[in-house]
Amino acid sequence: DQQAWTSEQRHALTRHVDERARDAVEAYTTLPEDTDPLDKQRARYAALKAARNRALVFVLAYTGVRVGELLRDPNDPRRRGVRWEDFSLDDGSMDVYRKKQQWDAASLPDPVISPLRSYRQLVDPPTDRWPVFPTFDQRTLAELVREELAERGEHPEVIDERREAHARDLLLALDENIRPPSITTDGARSILQRLSEAAEIDIDHPKHDYLAPHGGRRGMGEVLVRAFGYTVAARYLDNSEEMVRERYSHIEAGELGDVATEALEEIDSVPQ
């Protein structure tokens, strides 16, 4: 069974990625004017990576969207990962390719908007078709940049020079509008594994020693069922009410237990 993120775990992870991103962005934006260009690029790359990870964690933690709807599935070309064109930060919504094989709007609650806005500002994507969560894998990006520049007619020596002038291939891809692929669902698991460890989050689960991506959705389901009931939770999670009732039946069982306890206290305390 998938482990639902508890409130404590969610807060610990979001606080950790928030602090990391703030520190990395500040380190980049406060560099002295005369900083070496490559050092400046390295700082920008570190800020981009930290800001991407923060945005990813917040989206997984608060939107309840399935990780497969958000990121790339190598086995399904329709699941190419969300792009900036799929987001409307002003309206607080994003379009995702749902499990039911169609595009549909999903909500972006308030906690998600600020991390996405500051991240977008930092990326300054050359086009809205740019992936929101691009891969930072060096090998993938090196191959992509070489192939794309060669296709554009650049000579191998020139390509090597261009790559040397950039601290990372991702930054060259941004400069040249060479669109990288989105991270995969496996990539997200690796990121969350590293972040869970770095944030020293206490996890008690037989299968996972880290906060798995789907657990964010399960955790959000818990919050919604407890606060607003099964109907609202089902709509938010894009699930049938029947399935939500089944999956979160422990909540109802607990509540009914409380009712039974109350009834026993009331009836049993009445003198016969």
209-257: pLDDT as tens digits: 899 888 888 898 888 888 888 888 888 788 888 888 887 877 665 455 5
Q: What is the mean pLDDT of residues 136-140?
A: 96
User: Does the structure show a pLDDT above 90 at 137?
Assistant: yes
pLDDT of residue 214: 86
Q: Based on the domain organization, do 46 and 175 belong to the same domain?
A: no
**Comparing 46-50, 132-136, 202-206, 230-234, which segment has the lowest mean pLDDT?**
202-206
Q: Based on the domain organization, do 93 and 142 belong to the same domain?
A: no
* Angle, helix 213-228 to helix 249-268, in steps of 10 degrees: 40
Q: Based on the domain organization, do 175 and 209 belong to the same domain?
A: no
pLDDT of residue 253: 55
pLDDT of residue 82: 95
User: Does the structure show a pLDDT above 90 at 158?
Assistant: yes
Q: Based on the domain organization, do 192 and 63 belong to the same domain?
A: yes
Q: Based on the domain organization, do 71 and 203 belong to the same domain?
A: yes
Please tell me the number of Cα atoms within 13 Å of 80 on its side-chain side.
14
Rounded to two decimals, what is the model's pTM?
0.87
What is the number of domains present in the chain?
3
Give the total residue count for the chain. 272
Q: What is the mean pLDDT of residues 24-28?
A: 97
Residue 182 DSSP one-character state: B
| Distance, CA of 128 to CA of 29 (rounded, Å) | 24
pLDDT of residue 269: 62
Q: Based on the domain organization, do 7 and 84 belong to the same domain?
A: yes
Kindly give the residue spans of alpha helices, DSSP state H, lying in the chain: 7-29, 37-62, 67-70, 110-123, 138-151, 156-164, 169-176, 185-198, 213-228, 230-237, 241-247, 249-268
Q: What is the mean pLDDT of residues 28-46?
A: 96
User: Does the structure show a pLDDT above 90 at 55?
Assistant: yes
Domain that holds residue 17: 1-133+181-213
**Comparing 22-31, 137-146, 230-239, which segment has the lowest mean pLDDT?**
230-239
User: Does the structure show a pLDDT above 60 at 162?
Assistant: yes
Q: Based on the domain organization, do 101 and 43 belong to the same domain?
A: yes
Tokens of 136: 């930072």
- Burial of 29: CB neighbours in 10 Å, binned 0-12, 13-18, 19+: exposed
69-118: pLDDT as tens digits: 999 988 888 889 999 999 999 999 999 988 878 888 888 999 999 999 99
Confidence bin at 259 (pLDDT 50/70/90)? low
164-209: pLDDT as tens digits: 999 999 999 999 999 999 999 999 999 999 999 999 998 877 777 8
User: Does the structure show a pLDDT above 60 at 260?
Assistant: no
Residue 71 DSSP one-character state: S
87-88 and 76-80 as β-strands: parallel, antiparallel, unpaired?
A: unpaired
pLDDT of residue 127: 96
Q: Based on the domain organization, do 69 and 13 belong to the same domain?
A: yes
